[in-house]
Structure 1
């Protein structure tokens, strides 16, 4: 495995490839994303440990979308079987993915715990769905401080886990090393990831303006339920497109193994796709 250093403009290429790949199989990828989110939501309902289980599933859900995007790029239809890809590639990689999930849950919950030291757990309760976000809560100074601290701490956590599922699954890297390599790859390619983030921010803003205009028109026509449906649907599609683009960041940051194992199936290698290295 070798780390690639890519130019900053590659970040916009990743955004474009994610959008383009999504629209090759929009219904399939949107449905797969919805099913991953539904599974995490159901897991969160388990008493006491539900939120931790849901958090632990995120690396596997990310990997599933990466594999689905790779399948789409290679002209194959991504079936619901990709949702279980993290759990059907051998006991060692299953243990590694479960370890990744546990580490992510611990990291995220630690951030929530640190934020609770500032506002007594108000932000954590709102974020995890235990408390509704009201205006007086949002305007609370301690709540805002806890929110900004959480955002600041979540960035390195996100970068550390960004490539880790792919490194474990496609390269067989142990979890702790995968976390280290993921962080190094993101830091070394900071320019590309900055452009990538700004590019998606621009996409979200443009889509938000368009949805706001359409929703306003529908509300004026008395079609409130349709306006709500459009907002929710657009949010789901944008999130699915974003997750679809992750595989391209992984593919361009790491060279594939020279000799893939004969035991690996066709979904074991991320799809080649045009884009600078």
Structure 2
């Protein structure tokens, strides 16, 4: 398997392919994403260990969505069991995925802790009367540091689950290869992220317009979560294509 360099314009193609595949199988891809969110939400309720466990499962769950996209792209209907694909490829690769998940959880917790230190505290999401407190400078600094520190973590893990699952790459090597691939195709990834950011903003503006025409806050509150979840599902669907085009097998075939 070799790294493949792609032009920046391919980033928009990844967005379009993700949307196309999602629209072909909206029930399957949307349902799998809701299952993923439900699992993470339930785990997060467990005292002490819940949040780290939820974080540790994110790489495996992301791989499950990518495997579902692969099936949908080939014209098949992804079944719910595909979400557990990371643990159905043999004991060795399941252990490797668990190690990758543990590394992701440790990295995420380190980002949260370090951002709090750099910001001078964690801030508060609510004031005493329950109102939002996003004007809290400590909270804003904390969120800004989290965004900055999470970027390298996200790049390390961008392709890592797919490399571990489909090619048996050791988790540490997978992190390195993922970072190198993201840097090599940074133009395409930038276009990809800008494209999705534009789509999210456009849909948000549309929701605001619809809510102002149909009844204000109640309408936007009713629509916000399902619309955001469906858009997020489409985003996760598009991740498969970023991996497929960033690597190539020695015989010239796609890596997955």
Distance in 1 between residues matched to 2:214 and 2:60, nearest whole Å: 38
CA contact (8 A) 1:56 1:105 kept: yes
1:69-109 alpha-carbon deviations (Å, 9 max, x no partner): 11101000000011111111101100010001000000010
User: Are 2:115 and 1:115 equivalent residues in the alignment?
Assistant: yes
Distance in 1 between residues matched to 2:149 and 2:233, nearest whole Å: 24
Shift of 1:120: 5.5
CA contact (8 A) 1:218 1:227 kept: no
Which of 212, 221, 229 in structure 2 is aligned with 1:228?
A: 221
Distance in 1 between residues matched to 2:252 and 2:91, nearest whole Å: 21
Which of 197, 203, 206 in structure 1 is aligned with 2:193?
A: 197
The change in CA–CA distance for 1:259 and 1:152 in structure 2 (over 3 A counts) is closer
1:9-32 alpha-carbon deviations (Å, 9 max, x no partner): 000000000000000000111010
Unaligned runs of 5+ in 2: none
CA contact (8 A) 2:115 2:149 kept: no
User: Are 2:209 and 1:213 equivalent residues in the alignment?
Assistant: yes
1:138-217 aligned within 5 A: 138-217=134-213
Partner of residue 247, structure 2: 254
User: Are 2:23 and 1:16 equivalent residues in the alignment?
Assistant: no
CA contact (8 A) 2:119 2:145 kept: no
Structure 1 range deviating more: 211-220 or 155-164: 211-220
The change in CA–CA distance for 1:259 and 1:18 in structure 2 (over 3 A counts) is closer
User: TM-score scaled to structure 2, two decimals?
Assistant: 0.93
Partner of residue 36, structure 2: 36
Distance in 2 between residues matched to 1:78 and 1:15, nearest whole Å: 20
Shift of 1:257: 6.0
Partner of residue 231, structure 2: 238
CA contact (8 A) 2:4 2:247 kept: yes
Distance in 1 between residues matched to 2:130 and 2:184, nearest whole Å: 38
1:35-90 alpha-carbon deviations (Å, 9 max, x no partner): 01110111111111110000001101110110111110100000001111111110
The change in CA–CA distance for 1:250 and 1:122 in structure 2 (over 3 A counts) is same
Partner of residue 3, structure 1: 3
Number of residue pairs aligned between Structure 1 and Structure 2: 254
- Give the aligned CA root-mean-square deviation in angstroms: 2.3
Distance in 2 between residues matched to 1:51 and 1:177, nearest whole Å: 26
1:26-175 aligned within 5 A: 26-119=26-119, 121-123=121-123, 134-136=131-133, 138-175=134-171
Distance in 1 between residues matched to 2:70 and 2:250, nearest whole Å: 16
Unaligned runs of 5+ in 1: 261-268, 271-277
Distance in 2 between residues matched to 1:134 and 1:105, nearest whole Å: 31
